[in-house]
Amino acid sequence: MNPRNPYRHQISFDPHVWLPNTDKKYRSIVDLIDRDFVDNLIRFRLEVAPGVVHSPIVTSKILSALSEADIAKVREKVVELGGDDPHPHHLISIGSHHFPEMREKMQTSIVNPPDNIHRMQRGQWYVGDLYSADMVTSTLSNLGISIASNGNYLDFGCSSGSLVRALKAFSPESVFHGVDPIASSIDWAQRNIPGSHFTVSDTLPPLNYQERIFQGVTAISIWSHLGENEALAWFDEMHRVIVDGGWLFFTAHGDTAISHFNRDPGYSTRRILALLEGLINSDFVFEEVYIGKSPEGLSATGYGNAFFRRSWVERKLSRKWEIVHFGAAENQINQDVYVLKKRSLTSRLSSMLTSPIQSAWRKGTKPRT
C-alpha cells in the first residue's frame, strides 16, 4: 500500500491531485481537449504558414509543345468529360491520355504503375508528379538555378519515378537518376521510364555512386520520415555525392505540418499534443509509425514521421551546408521546403575560421559566451 495514498485514489497527471475511486475509467486532461482547442494552441505556440503557389515552369514548358488548336481541343475534351476550365496539370494529363499525337509532342507517358507498385500519387489521368516538378523548378529558378541540359541529377527516394518522368519531359537532355529501397518500384521505373537510371538503395548509406557526381539532388518527403541519426547519416551521404557548390532540394515536416495533421481524423488529439509538446521543447521530434517493418517489408528502425525546425537544420548542418532557401509549408501547405548548397572544403574552412570561437582564438582572447 502506498502510505501517501492509503485509499488507492486515482491520481491525475499531477501526482499531488487525487480523486476518489469511481467505476469510470480515469481520463487524462489531454483526452478531454477537443480538436479546435488544440488548433488554437498550435497556432499560439507554433508558426503556421499559409503556403505558396508555385510558378508552372515545368508544365508551361511541356504545354508549349502544343499549338493553340491543340489546347482548344483539350479544353473541349475537358468539358465533354464534365469538367471546368482545367489547371495546366490537367491539360497535360487529359491531352496525354486522350490524344496520342499530343502525348508525342509533349514527350509524356500514360504508362502508370499498377496498384501493387508503390507511388505517392494516384489518379485517373496520371502522367507523373507535375506538382513537385513545378515546385522544384520554380524554387530553384527564384535562386537563379536551372536544370542544365548536360547536368546529372538524382531523385533520392524516388519510389516508382513520378518526379523523374516529369523532369525528364521538361529537360530531355538532362541525365536523371533515381534511388529507392523498394525494389519493385525501382524495377517498374527502370522498365517504363526510358532515358533515366534507377537503382535499389539500402535504408542506410552509402549509395552506389562515386563522390561528387550530381549537380543537384531532389528528395520529396524523405527527411519527413527519418529519425535523427538516420537523417544526419543521409545528409552526409548527399554531401558526398553532390559536387562542390551543388544543391540539395528537400521537403520535411515542420510547424505547419502539425496543424495539418490535426485536421486528419486518423490522428487523436493525444498524439497531436504529444507532437506539439515535443516540438515546443525541442527542434526535432520523432513519431513511431511502424513496429518492426513497414508495409513494404523494410526495417522500421528510425523510420516513422519526423518533425523539425529550421533551427535544427542550422545547428546540425551549417558546417557542411548553406541554407539558400527555406519556405515554410511551401509543399502543399504542409511540408517545409529547403534548398541547401554544399560548402566546398575552402568554404568550410573559412566558415570555421570566422566563427566566434576561432576568431577569438586567433586574437588570443576568450570568446564571448
pLDDT digits (tens, 9 = 90+) for 278-294: 999 999 999 999 989 88
Domain identity same for 141 and 245: yes
Asked whether residue 171 is assigned to any structural domain, the reply reads yes
Domain identity same for 223 and 333: yes
Domain identity same for 265 and 141: yes
Domain identity same for 207 and 336: yes
Name the residue among 144, 146, 123 with its Cα closest to residue 216.
146
Domain identity same for 163 and 304: yes
pLDDT digits (tens, 9 = 90+) for 317-342: 999 999 999 999 999 999 999 999 99
Asked whether residue 366 is assigned to any structural domain, the reply reads no
Domain span at residue 209 reads 128-352
Asked whether residue 104 is assigned to any structural domain, the reply reads no
Asked whether residue 41 is assigned to any structural domain, the reply reads no
Long-range contacts, stretch 193-196, CB < 8 angstroms, 24+ apart: 193/109, 193/161, 193/164, 193/165, 193/168, 195/168, 196/161, 196/164, 196/165, 196/168
Domain identity same for 28 and 152: no
**Reported pTM:** 0.90
CB atoms within 10 A of CB 350: 12
Asked whether residue 260 is assigned to any structural domain, the reply reads yes
Asked whether residue 329 is assigned to any structural domain, the reply reads yes
Asked whether residue 109 is assigned to any structural domain, the reply reads no
Domain identity same for 158 and 14: no
How many domains are there within the chain?
A: 2
Residue ranges for the chain with pLDDT beneath 50: 357, 361, 367-369
Asked whether residue 59 is assigned to any structural domain, the reply reads no
The CATH number covering residue 320 comes to 3.40.50.150
